[in-house]
Amino acid sequence: MEFSDSLIEEFQPSKNLVVLTGAGISAESGVPTFRGEDGLWRKHRAEELATPYAFQTNPKLIWEWYDWRRGIIAKTEPNPGHTAIAEMEQVFPHFSLITQNVDGLHRRAGNTKIIEIHGNLWQTRCVREGKVGEDYRVPLPEIPPKCECGALLRPHVVWFGESLDQEDLARSYRLIEECNLLLVVGTSAVVQPVASFPVEAKRQGAFVVEVNIDSSPISSLVNGSLLGKAGEILPALLGKIKGSWST
C-alpha cells in the first residue's frame, strides 16, 4: 500500500494526534449498525427503541433489545484497525481517541486514552443514583436489571433526544482545538456535533487525514483521504510511520 512521503512526514512523534472513529471501523469486525432496514428487530427500528420515552414505557423491551445487541457484539473481536489505533496510543506521546461507537472494541484492543462520546453498552447507570457500573454478562440473568438500591438500571449510552455528556463534549472540543494532527476513521461525518470536529480541527490549522471505505462529506475538506478498509490501511500506515522514524 502506497502513501505519499508528504503524508507520512506529518506523522511525527512530536505531533498531538487525535483519532476520531465511527461505525465503519466496527463494521469490519462484524458489528451491525442496528439502524435502518437492516437494523429491524421485532418490527421495531432503533430510532423507536433508543429513546428515554421507550425505556420509561417498556424497560423490559428495551433491555431485551440491548441484551440481543450485546450478544451479537460479544462474539466479535477487535480488527487490525482497532489494534493499529491501540498501538498508536503506545508510540505517540501525545495521543487521544474519540469514538462514536458504543461497542467497547477500542477498549478491548487496548486503548485507554479514550472518550466514548456516545457511551458504552457494557456499562449501566442507575436511574435513581446515577451510579455507573460495568456488566459483561451475556445474556443478562435478569431483565430489566436492577441496581443494588432497587432502582432500574439503564444502558449507559446516549439515546435519541438526549444531550451528550457535557464533560465528555467539553474534553472532546478541547482535544480538537489543541491537536495538530487528526485521523478520522470510518465515520460518515454527518451526525452532529461530532461531524463538526474535522471542520474545527482544520480551521485551527491541524492536518486532517480521513480513512474510510467510501468518500464522505469531509473528503473534499481533508488534507489526505485514504479510501479502503481501516483494517488494511491503518496497520500499513503505522508501519510506514514507524519506519520513517527509524531512518
Q: What pLDDT is stored for residue 231 in this prediction?
A: 98
Residues 83 and 172 both lie in one domain: yes
Q: What pLDDT is stored for residue 40 in this prediction?
A: 53
Q: Which domain holds residue 114?
A: 5-30+78-118+164-245
Q: What pLDDT is stored for residue 146 in this prediction?
A: 97
Residues 65 and 180 both lie in one domain: no
Catalytic status, residue 118: yes
Q: What pLDDT is stored for residue 54 in this prediction?
A: 95
C-alpha cell of 218? 469531509
Cα–Cα distances (Å) from 96 to 50, 60, 63, 92, 230, in that order, read 28, 36, 31, 9, 18
Residues 23 and 100 both lie in one domain: yes
Residues 195 and 235 both lie in one domain: yes
> How long, in residues, is the chain?
247
CA–CA gap between residue 134 and residue 124 (Å, rounded) = 6
CB contact at 8 A, 194 and 117: yes
Here the CATH number for the domain that contains residue 176 is 3.40.50.1220
CB contact at 8 A, 246 and 234: no
Residues 89 and 99 both lie in one domain: yes
Query: From first to last of its 247 residues, what are the pLDDT tens digits of the chain?
Result: 789 999 999 999 999 999 999 999 999 999 987 665 555 566 677 778 999 999 999 999 999 999 999 999 999 999 999 999 999 999 999 999 999 999 999 999 999 999 999 999 999 999 999 999 999 999 999 999 999 999 999 999 999 999 999 999 999 999 999 999 999 999 977 788 899 999 999 999 999 999 999 999 899 999 999 999 999 999 999 999 999 998 6
CA–CA gap between residue 218 and residue 79 (Å, rounded) = 24
The one catalytic residue among 44, 82, 94, 118: 118
Residues 112 and 177 both lie in one domain: yes
